[in-house]
A and B are shown apart, each in its own frame.
Chain A
Amino acid sequence: MKIVVCVKQVPDTSEVRIDQKTGTMIREGVKSIINPDDLSGLEAALSIKDQNHAEVIALSMGPMQADSAMRECLAMGVDRAILVSDRVFAGADTWATSLLLSKAIAQINPDLIICGRQAIDGDTAQVGPQIAEHLSLPSVAYVGDITLENENNLVVKRTFENGYQLIRVKTPCLLTVLSEMNSPRYMRVGGIFSAFNDGLVEVWDNSNLNLQPEELGLKGSPTKVKKSYTKGVKTAGKVFDVEPKEAAKVIIEKLKESYIL
């Protein structure tokens, strides 16, 4: 069995802070990590490999800095790590990203593709299902467990807000997985050594994929960012010394304003 795991290197958004004076986002000093849902995808693939004959390939699209994330994948035990990187890919939205990754995957021709449900920087959860659509493959999203039934079928647990379904899906197929499904293994000491010494990360650019200019980057992206902004400086709070009835009203108004109600 050949398994591709799609991996994204992301800033650790739990470390991102807003400068309380300027209201801008402080990115300096924020670690780059493998997206948590993707790490669980790697673990899921590697545990299939532990018990069956399987080849696991980590695939990422990103700038050359993502090389370090690919080496981490190798140190965890993947067989190949492919970084799709080219200046002309920059600015891609989920449509263009998924098209590009689908072209790379088509060349690998796997039986199973695993993506993390969503990346913590963009939180879109769109690239996985969109890759499947580009490849005309069946997909199951929000997967919390994978069982190999036989050579041609998987049984997966598809979670919803209030429960789950057990779904049988034919291979080849694509799954998007949740970080709750497992605890990713650590990098192996020997693995770290070889991954950081040998030039094992394969880098593909557009000469490998042959996408047309109008399919790439900003030009190939149906959506554009019109503007972005932080929520700004936190203003000083207000204290109300009022009767309970009025107090409750104030609270409800604030909850509505903050989309909690």
Chain B
Amino acid sequence: MSATKDVLVFIEQRHGIIQSVSLELLGIGATLATKLESNLIAVVIGNQVIDLAKEVGSYGAKRVYVVDDPMLETYVNETYTKALTAVIRETNPDVALVGATALGRDLAPRVSSRLHTGLTADCTSLDIDETTNQLLMTRPAFGGNLMATIICPDHRPQMSTVRPGVMIKPEQDKTRKFDIITIDANLKPSDVNVEVLETVYETKKRIRIEDANVLVSAGRGIGSKENMKQVETLAQLLKGEVSGTRAVVDNGWLDKDRQVGQTGKTVRPDLYFALGISGAIQHISGMEESNLVIAINRNPEAPIFEVADVGIVGDVNKVLPELFKQLNHH
């Protein structure tokens, strides 16, 4: 069977809840399908997931394929690989996208190997080459120091896992028309060599500040221990950790293991958010290699602005409430 130009999105659901990355993929998937002058199609895999298929259709998939089987109740790569492979073989898409989650990054490699096609991991940008119509898959490597654009010229589908939070989720429109098609993946108990004994959900443990991708860091300018709550709120909103300067630690507003700087830890997160930090050299030396630095400080002459990508001159305790307001709208 010859390949279509369709763009297929794997819809990841856990306990009947569609993961937001899958909706984001429907957004970029629609853009790619338009450029290829083809259709966006989606696959829902699970047990009793027909209702989810309807939701997926309202987010823009023209055809929603469903593999519905009691054996798919809980994710196991053996059954899910067989199910997703069956749908890809049936539909012959040009592109197949999977969220780069702890589940997707287990599933997609097995599927791509079984189909003998290429897979590009954890992409942050996807586009179509205007002359070749190939999928351009761009991803960071070398600890984020290098960006690479990968192609898969001779094998189909062109497969990619895509980093959550990067693509834009489309608007839901319940008037959209779409077809739901059920596919039997012919699952058998002998397909399965693993048994899930127990599933446990945990609230997130505190990450060491050296390992954090996002740090929200407080300096003396935050003003009081009470105001540290705002710092924590921002850290939660940005899925980061709280850190601070020596002054903040010495004042007893923060634990010593959260201190950045010469007498504390050296950090290089993707984002360092400096709140009320003037930027003494001892502090700067511990954070200057952060990828992106955003600083808020009242003093326009503060040295922190010399290392900041974005500097805001202002009272941190006035800017933060406004930031929370706009982030909640976001």
A24-51 CB contact bits vs B (8 Å, 1 = yes)?
Answer: 0100000000000000000000000000
Residue of B nearest to A163 (CB): B201
Cβ contact within 8 Å between B311 and A237: yes
Cβ contact within 8 Å between A155 and B197: yes
Q: Which of B141-149, B224-232, B253-261, B278-286 contacts A (4 or more CB under 8 A)?
A: B141-149
Cβ contact within 8 Å between B310 and A16: no
Q: Which residues of A contact B110 (CB under 8 A)?
A: 129-130, 132-133, 139
Cβ contact within 8 Å between B292 and A223: no
CB distance from B286 to the nearest CB of A (A): 15
CA distance A209 to B184 in the complex (A): 38
CA distance A261 to B238 in the complex (A): 7
Q: Which residues of B contact A231 (CB under 8 A)?
A: 145, 147
CB distance from B135 to the nearest CB of A (A): 10
Q: Which residues of A contact B147 (CB under 8 A)?
A: 228-231
CA distance A160 to B106 in the complex (A): 11
Cβ contact within 8 Å between B150 and A224: yes
Q: Which of B49-57, B118-126, B241-249 contacts A (4 or more CB under 8 A)?
A: B118-126
B311-327 CB contact bits vs A (8 Å, 1 = yes)?
Answer: 11111001101110111
Question: Contact partner of B318 among A134, A139, A239, A244, CB < 8 A?
Answer: A244
CA distance A140 to B102 in the complex (A): 11
Residue of A nearest to B305 (CB): A239
Residue of A nearest to B197 (CB): A166
Cβ contact within 8 Å between A162 and B201: yes
Residue of B nearest to A256 (CB): B330
Cβ contact within 8 Å between A18 and B145: yes
CA distance A226 to B118 in the complex (A): 14
Cβ contact within 8 Å between B121 and A16: no
Give the secondary structure class of B's interface.
mixed
Cβ contact within 8 Å between B109 and A133: yes
Cβ contact within 8 Å between B116 and A222: yes
Q: Which residues of A contact B292 (CB under 8 A)?
A: 254, 258, 260
Q: Given the interface contacts A163-B200, A173-B193, A239-B300, does A142 sit within 8 Å of B310 by beta carbon?
A: no
Cβ contact within 8 Å between B114 and A133: yes
Whether a CB of chain A sits under 8 angstroms from the CB of B214 is yes
Question: Contact partner of B312 among A18, A142, A242, CB < 8 A?
Answer: A242
Give the secondary structure class of A's interface.
mixed
Q: Given the interface contacts A224-B153, A239-B313, A248-B326, does A138 sit within 8 Å of B193 by beta carbon?
A: yes
CB distance from A125 to the nearest CB of B (A): 5
CB distance from A107 to the nearest CB of B (A): 19
CA distance A243 to B194 in the complex (A): 58
Q: Which residues of B contact A138 (CB under 8 A)?
A: 78, 193-194
Cβ contact within 8 Å between B200 and A240: no
Residue of B nearest to A254 (CB): B310
CB distance from B79 to the nearest CB of A (A): 11
CA distance A130 to B111 in the complex (A): 9
CB distance from A200 to the nearest CB of B (A): 31
Cβ contact within 8 Å between B312 and A251: yes
CB distance from B49 to the nearest CB of A (A): 19
Q: Which residues between 77 and 113 of chain A lie within 8 Å of chain B, taking CB atoms?
A: 93-95, 98
Q: Given the interface contacts A170-B193, A244-B322, A254-B294, does A125 sit within 8 Å of B105 by beta carbon?
A: yes
CA distance A238 to B150 in the complex (A): 33
Among A163, A244, A252, find the residue whose CB has the most chain B CB atoms closer than 10 A: A244
What are 29 residue pairs bridging A and B, where the CB atoms are less than 8 Å apart in the complex? A25-B142, A122-B121, A123-B141, A125-B105, A125-B109, A126-B105, A129-B106, A130-B109, A160-B102, A161-B101, A162-B201, A167-B197, A222-B116, A223-B151, A224-B150, A224-B151, A224-B153, A239-B308, A239-B313, A241-B314, A243-B314, A245-B322, A247-B323, A251-B294, A252-B323, A252-B330, A255-B238, A260-B214, A260-B238
Q: A259-B163, A261-B330 are in contact. List 9 more A-B contacts (CB 8 A).
A: A25-B142, A95-B118, A139-B77, A167-B194, A224-B152, A237-B309, A241-B314, A248-B326, A252-B326
Residues of B bordering A, CB below 8 Å: 77-78, 81, 101-103, 105-106, 108-110, 112-114, 116-122, 124, 136, 140-143, 145-155, 163, 165-166, 193-202, 204, 214, 238, 268, 270-271, 291-294, 296, 300, 305-315, 318-319, 321-323, 325-327, 330
